[in-house]
Amino acid sequence: MKTCKISFSPITILGSLLCIMGYVYAHDSPKDYVDAHNVARSEVGEPSLIWDDSVAAYAQNYANQRRKDCELIHSHGPYGENLAWSSSNDFSGVDGVKLWVDEKAYFDYMSNSCADNQMCGHYTQVVWKNTLRVGCAKILLVWLIISLMCVLPWCLSAQNSPEDYLEAHNTARAKVGVKPLKWDWRLESYAYLHLSQKTEHCIPIQSDGPYGENTVSGVKATEAFRKLTGAQAVGVWVAQKQYYDEKSNSCIGGYCRHYMQVVWRDTTHIGCARVQCEVGAYMLTTQYVQKLGLNH
């Protein structure tokens, strides 16, 4: 039997997303989704997944984008992804997982490939060995079910991990005696969604969303700076400290509002994202949750 080779990322970490439908429909709760995945995984000796709702914003935002056209178009985001659709009112999340698992019939473990002219990539997502967490979203009206298994881009990139962003922020905050920040995956998802819409021109336009925000682009920078890292981006913002006057809480002689965001006293959590634009340069943004603070 002829086979076609399947290519997978070597490192996968499941990102979790809220079930947008809530729990009013049978077989659509987080437990239902998790159980459906884990039954399939146990059959091939893979460890169980757990539910994690910290990146629910990504699932909800993307599912809502597909509400009008109901097309099974992948988000091309930082996550592995399975999608399913049905016009039936009885189509549940568990039914969606079953569609993917049924592709097992076309997958050959020995060659890690699908049978010729057959699809099995959804099944391999369900049972992928290194996956840890799962999250699914289901929207009303079109019964589009989305299950996203995340492959986070910062896993293989130095100076772009959550720890790197946090360390750069908290070092600056410690120097002025304010509390360290913590990471929030929902903010990271929001940050990524915003940047993913700006990759054509790589212009750092603010999202005008509900969070404080710092954004920087390497598009007009030197060649080395075009590969802007998270640590470098925070360094750019912190460098504005020279223009900040603490007594008047204002900028003198230059722009300093990015620095003010970094050290704002009431900020508690951040989430950052980094994308490569079509022109090759990188753009980064950090979203800030705070009691009081700047919106830009």
Beta-bridge partner residues of 5: 113
52 and 34 Cβ atoms separated by less than 8 Å: no
Residue 27 class from Cβ within 10 Å (0-12 exposed, 13-18 middle, 19+ buried)? middle
For the chain, the distance separating the N- and C-terminal CA atoms, rounded to the nearest angstrom, is 59
Give the per-residue pLDDT at 270.
94
Average pLDDT, the chain: 76
**What are residue 31's phi and psi, to 5 degrees?**
-60, -40
Query: What are the extents of the domains in the chain?
Result: 30-134, 158-290
Instruction: Supply the CATH classification number for the domain 158-290.
Output: 3.40.33.10
Give the per-residue pLDDT at 41.
94
Give the model confidence (pLDDT) of 152-196 as tens digits: 333 334 567 888 899 999 999 999 999 999 988 778 878 887 887
Architecture of domain 30-134: 3-Layer(aba) Sandwich (3.40)
Q: What percent of the chain has pLDDT over 70?
A: 69
Gap between the Cα atoms of 104 and 89, Å rounded: 26
Q: Which residue has the higher pLDDT, 129 or 49?
A: 49
Same-fold call for 30-134 versus 158-290: yes
Gap between the Cα atoms of 131 and 148, Å rounded: 11
If pLDDT is split at 50, 70 and 90, which confidence band does 23 have? very low
Q: What is the mean pLDDT of residues 64-87?
A: 66
185-196 vs 56-65: helix axis angle to the nearest 10?
Answer: 30
Has this prediction a pTM greater than 0.85? no
Give the per-residue pLDDT at 69.
62
Angle at 168 between CA 282 and CA 267, to 5 degrees: 100
If pLDDT is split at 50, 70 and 90, which confidence band does 68 have? low
Secondary structure (DSSP) of 38-71: HHHHHTTTPPPPEE--TTHHHHHHHHHHTTTT--
Q: Buried b vs exposed e over 172-208: b needs ≥16 C-beta within 10 Å?
A: bbeeeebeebebbbbbbbbbbbbbeebeeebebeebe
Give the per-residue pLDDT at 192.
80
Tokens matching residue 130: 């290194």
Q: What is the DSSP letter of 7?
A: -
Q: Is pLDDT above 60 for 33?
A: yes
Sorted by sequence, the CB contacts under 8 Å of residue 105 that are 6+ apart come out as none
